[in-house]
Amino acid sequence: MVKQADEWLRAMILSFYAEALATAAAKRIDGPVAHQLALLETASLVSGQAGRPVGEEEVARVLLDASRRRRAHRAVAPRRPRYRVARVALRSVAIVSPVEAV
């Protein structure tokens, strides 16, 4: 069971990391260097807010967990089979076809 404090910390890490990546992009830093700098900055900022030391490993663990959750959510999302989409598209074209209007 996840504690409410853990959810608060998770939300704080995700928001600080996104802000740190945006700051790195504004400074024209990209790639692995930007991610490493964002990781270090996030750990430092979250440690101050949490009142306890939060290491880069914990930040990386939270980021990896969030990434896995997003991927799992995308995999579960219902998808419409392509043939149905094509059939609906053909039906809509047939309705406004000028041949039938004449």
The answer to the question of residue 102 being in a domain is: no
**Structural domain boundaries enclosing 53:** 4-96
Between 4-26 and 56-76, two packed helices, what is the crossing angle to 10 degrees?
100
pTM: 0.66
Residue 39 domain flag: yes
3-state secondary structure of 71: helix
Q: Is residue 18 part of a domain?
A: yes
pLDDT of res. 70:
85
* Low-confidence residues in the chain, pLDDT < 50: 1, 97
Q: How many domains does the chain have?
A: 1
Residue 101 maps to a domain: no
96: DSSP letter: T
pLDDT of residue 10: 93
